[in-house]
Amino acid sequence: MAKQLAVYVSASPEMDAECELLGQLLAGMFHSTQWTIKRTPAYYERMNPDLDALRGSQFYVILLGMDIMAPMGVEWMVAQEMGLPTFAFHNVEVVASPATSYFMRQSGAQWQSYRSPQEFIHQLERQLIHKLLEGTPGYGVEVSDLEELSARLKALEEQDQAQDRGEERRGAGRGGIILPSAGAR
């Protein structure tokens, strides 16, 4: 029987793109594990949060954009009371409402900023892999999957280093003269 892990996501409807990418990430992470994702019910569904699903989760993700919506605060409180590993993200490309700003300040969480859904998933993938590697054997992940995760993390870190090298400044960022190459006439 496949190992089962669950993620609970507190997110408003404006975070659909991020949630879609999260699902794609988990689907491709490793194949011997079944993932379950539960999410904050949308305001128009008029439902209470699935606190049983939250209590059965191994990980908690909260995504904040413009506004925090009920019942995200309740989900947050339950996740923190349980001591669930929490991944807290805030989209800095949108102006946060006063309620969101207040919640972020009062939460005591270390919020990770991102500018696009792709940047969010880029950051979350690394953090989740680290947490899975740190938490095993508690999560019951197969050894072969751990090896895959370690290799994936190494590849991501090498990719980051290569990107950093590619952004090396060469002196023309504040203006200059670009000469034609020697072979051009």
Instruction: Give residue-wise pLDDT tens across range 49-88.
Output: 899 999 999 999 999 999 998 899 999 999 999 999 999 9
Q: Confidence class of residue 171 from pLDDT cuts 50, 70 and 90?
A: low
What pLDDT sits at residue 46?
77
Q: Give domain status of residue 178, yes or no.
A: no
Q: Give domain status of residue 169, yes or no.
A: no
Residue predicted with more confidence, 167 or 25 = 25
What pLDDT sits at residue 96?
94
What pLDDT sits at residue 91?
97
Q: Give domain status of residue 16, yes or no.
A: yes
Residue predicted with more confidence, 52 or 177 = 52
How far apart CA 7 and CA 40 sit, in angstroms, is: 12
Q: Give domain status of residue 176, yes or no.
A: no
CATH of the domain at 38: 3.40.50.10140
Residue 172 has pLDDT above 90, yes or no: no
How many residues belong to the chain? 185
Q: Give domain status of residue 20, yes or no.
A: yes
What pLDDT sits at residue 114?
97
CA angle, residues 160, 164, 166, in degrees to nearest 5: 115
Per the structure, the count of domains in the chain is 1
Q: Give domain status of residue 153, yes or no.
A: no
- At residue 74, φ and ψ (nearest 5 deg) are -65, -45
How far apart CA 15 and CA 22 sit, in angstroms, is: 11
Which amino acid belongs to residue 45? E
pLDDT in tens, 89-141: 999 999 999 999 999 999 999 999 999 999 999 999 999 999 999 876 778 88
- The helix-helix angle for 16-29 and 117-135 (nearest 10°) equals 40
How far apart CA 140 and CA 144 sit, in angstroms, is: 12
CB-based burial label for 169 (10 Å; 0-12, 13-18, 19+): exposed
Q: Give domain status of residue 144, yes or no.
A: no
Residue predicted with more confidence, 6 or 177 = 6
Residue 181 has pLDDT above 70, yes or no: no
- pTM for the whole thing? 0.83
How far apart CA 34 and CA 22 sit, in angstroms, is: 14
CB-based burial label for 135 (10 Å; 0-12, 13-18, 19+): middle
Could you tell me the residue range of the domain that residue 60 belongs to? 3-139
Residue 169 has pLDDT above 70, yes or no: no
By DSSP bridging, strand 33-39 and strand 3-11 are parallel
Q: Give domain status of residue 31, yes or no.
A: yes
How far apart CA 86 and CA 152 sit, in angstroms, is: 21
Q: Confidence class of residue 180 from pLDDT cuts 50, 70 and 90?
A: low
- At residue 182, φ and ψ (nearest 5 deg) are -60, -35
What pLDDT sits at residue 170?
53
Could you give the C-alpha distances from 28 to 31, 33, 64, 81, 104, in angstroms and in order? Answer: 7, 10, 25, 30, 31
